[in-house]
Structure 1
Amino acid sequence: MALTEKEILRYKHPMGVPGMGIDMQEGLKAARILVVGAGGLGSPILQYLSASGVGVLGIADFGVVMEEDLHRMPLYQMQDIRKHKAKMAASRLWGLNPFTKHYPFLLQVHPGNVGDLIENFDLVLDCSQDAATHLVINDACIIKDKPFIIAEVHNWMSWFGGFNLPLKDNERTASYRCNQELIDEYRNFDAGALGTTHGATAILLANEILKWIAGVSTFAGKLFTYDFLHNTQQIIELSPDMARLEAVRVVGILTAEAYGMELVPEIDD
C-alpha cells in the first residue's frame, strides 16, 4: 500500500532506521490489527501502533473511563471520564495520527460475536486481562486461523505471548490453550496497579508487533515475562498441543457459560 507524500514526510525518521525503509512503512500501512481492551495496557499500545502508522486499528471495549484508572491510561483526559473507552480512544488517536483508521467497537467480545469481529483483521491483540475472554479469542483465532497475542500486567510483573503465528514451514505455533496451565502461573491479581509497568509492557509489545510486521519477529511461540521490580526477564518456549488444537477445531466456539463468561448488557449508544 503506497505512502502519500505527507506520510513519507511524517514517517521519515522510522524509515531511516537500518532495515526498515519505505517497504516496511508500507507494510505497516497495510496492517489491520484488532485490540481487545483499551484500558491500562491496551490504550498505550494503541498509541504506539497508531503513531507508528498501522493502517487500521480496531478497538473493542465495552467499559468507560474511570478517574482512578487515568494514572495508567494517558491516552484519556479528565473530560473523558465515564465516556466509552473505545469511542474516546478512537477520537484521541485520530488527533495523534489522522493517517491511521481507528474503528471503535463498543461491545463485549463473547462467543456470539467473536467470529465476525476478528474476520477482517490480520492480527488480534487481547489486552482484556480476562481469562474467559482469552479462551474465547483463542478458540476463534484457531478456527479462523488468525495469529493472536495475549498480554497481561499484574503489579510488578507482566507477560505476553505470540500464539498461532505462522512459521517458515507453514505450520503454526502453540495456542494459549496449549500452555494455559503454565501461563496462568504468572496471573496474579493482588491489589494495585502501576502505570509504569503497563506503559513499559506496552512499549515492549508494540516493538515486537512492529518486528512481526517487518518479518523479523522473535516472539512467535514464546512467552515473555518481565519482573520490573528486580529487572529480570524470562523467555519460555511454548509447545503446541495437537490434541487440544484439534479439539478446538472439531468442537468450535463454546457457550459463554462453558467459558465461565458473564455477559454484560449490550451498549445502546
Structure 2
Amino acid sequence: MILSEKEIQHFKNPIAVPGLGITMQEKLKEARVLVVGAGGLGSPVIQYLSASGVGVIGIADYGVINDEDMHRQPIYQMQDIRKHKAKMAASRLWAVNPYTKHYPILMQVKPETINMMLVGFDLVIDCSQHLPTHLVVNDACLVHNKPYITGEVHNWMAWFAGFNMPLADGTNSATYRCALPLTEEYRNFDAGALGATHGALGTQIVCEVIKYLIGVPLGIAGKFYGIDYLHNQTQVLDLQPDHALIESIRTAGVLTAEEYGLEIVPDVED
C-alpha cells in the first residue's frame, strides 16, 4: 500500500467520495506536478493541489511577496512580505499537508531553464498569466510530450484550457499556440485584479487536474473554458489542433528569449 495509516486518516473524507477510495488517493500520491508561478492564480492552485494529496509539487517562481498582492495570495502572511514566494509557499503548504513534497524552484522560466525544470514531472500548470512564459512552456511541453494546463484572470473575465493532453483516440489535444486567437478574446487590459476571481479559477483548475490525474474520462483535454464571473456565464469550446503548426513547433524546438519577447531577470540571490 502506498498510503500510510496516518495518510489514510488524513484523507479519509476525500477517500469516502463515491468512486474515489484509496486507489484514487494513491494515484494522486504518485502524481508529480510542476506549477509555474505562485502568485494570484498559482496560490489557490498549489494550495488545493497540496491539500488534495498530490505527491510532488514543484513551485517555480523567482519573485517576492508584495503587500499589494496579498488580497489574491492568501497562502502568505504579512510577515512574509519581501520573502521569496516559492520558498514561503513550500513552507506554508508543508504546515497543512506534510505528506506532500513541495519543491521551491527559485528561477525564471526561460529557454535556458525550462527543459531542466520539466524533468520528472507528469503535468505542468502555468499560472504565470504571462504570454511569453506561456509560449516557452507550451513549446517545451510539446517537445517533451508533457501535458500542459494554463489560464488567466482579467478582472471579471477568465479562461483556462488543457493543451497537449492525451485524447481517447490516441492523439494529443491542441497546443496553446493553436488557441491563441481565442485566448486573446478573454484578455482585459483594464487596471486592477480581484482576489475572488483568482481563487475561483484556481479551484476550478484543480478540480479538472484531479479528474485528469485519477483518470476520469471526458475532462479538460482539448477543452477551453471561458468564464465571465460578473454575469456568471461559462463557455466551453472544443479546441481543434493545427497539425501543421504543431509540427513546426516540434521541428523548431524551444526558441530564444528574444524570439519569445521574454525579458530575462537576474538570477535570484538566496
Q: Please give the TM-score of this superposition, normalised by the length of structure 1.
A: 0.98
Shift of 1:120: 1.0
Query: What is the deviation of 1:27?
Result: 0.2
Contact 1:197 1:228 in 2 (8 A): yes
Question: Quick one: distance in 2 between partners of 1:268 and 1:243?
Answer: 42
Residue type at the aligned position of 2:228: D
Secondary structure of the corresponding residue to residue 40 of structure 2: coil
Total equivalences in the alignment: 269
How many Å apart are 1:189 and its aligned residue?
2.1
Do 1:124 and 1:147's aligned partners in 2 also have CA atoms closer than 8 Å?
yes
Q: What is the 5 A alignment of 1:17-166?
A: 17-166=17-166
Q: Secondary structure at the match of 1:64?
A: coil
Residue in 2 that maps onto 1:180: 180
Q: Secondary structure at the match of 1:125?
A: strand
Letter in 2 for 1:257: E
Does residue 244 of structure 1 match 2:245? yes
Is the counterpart of residue 223 in structure 1 residue 224 in structure 2? yes
Superposed CA RMSD? 0.8
CA distance in 1, matches of 2:253, 2:169: 25
Q: Deviations over 1:123-170 (max 9, x none)?
A: 000000000000000000000000010111110011100001111222
**Which letter maps to 1:89?**
A
So what's the TM-score if we normalise by structure 2? Answer: 0.98
Match of 2:206 in 1: 206
Q: Following the alignment from structure 1 to structure 2, what is the Cα–Cα distance between the partners of residues 51 and 41?
A: 16
| Separation (CA, whole Å) in 2 of partners of 1:232 and 1:182 | 16
Matched, 1:11 2:11: yes
Residue of structure 1 in register with 2:256 after alignment: 255
Compute the displacement of 1:181 (Å): 1.5
Letter in 2 for 1:31: A
In structure 1, C-alpha distance between the alignment counterparts of 2:88 and 2:243, rounded to whole Å: 41
Distance in 2 (alpha carbons) for counterparts of 1:31 and 1:189? 35
| Structure 1: segments with no counterpart, 5+ residues | none
Distance 1:151 1:24 in 2: 26
Runs of at least 5 residues in structure 2 that lack an aligned partner in the other structure: none
1:152 maps to amino acid: E
Q: 1:18 deviation in Å? A: 0.5
Q: Deviations over 1:37-81 (max 9, x none)?
A: 000010111110100000000000011000110011110000100
Structure 2: distance between partners of 1:187 and 1:58? 27
Q: Distance in 1 between matches of 2:214 and 2:184?
A: 30
Q: Structure 1 residue 262: deviation in Å?
A: 0.5
Counterpart AA for 1:186: Y
Displacement after TM superposition at 1:200 (Å): 0.8
Which secondary structure state, in structure 1, belongs to the residue aligned with residue 104 of structure 2? strand
* Partner of residue 195, structure 1: 195
CA distance in 1, matches of 2:69, 2:179: 31
Moved over 4 A (4+): none
| Conservation of the 8 A alpha-carbon contact between 1:119 and 1:144 | no
Equivalent residue letter for 2:214: A
Shift of 1:249: 0.9
Q: Provide Cα deviations, 1:96-129, integer angstroms capped at 9, x if missing partner.
A: 1000000000111000110110121000000000
The Cα shift of 1:264 comes to 0.3
**1:70–1:76 Cα contact (<8 Å) kept:** yes
Structure 2 distance, partners of 1:131, 1:75, is 24
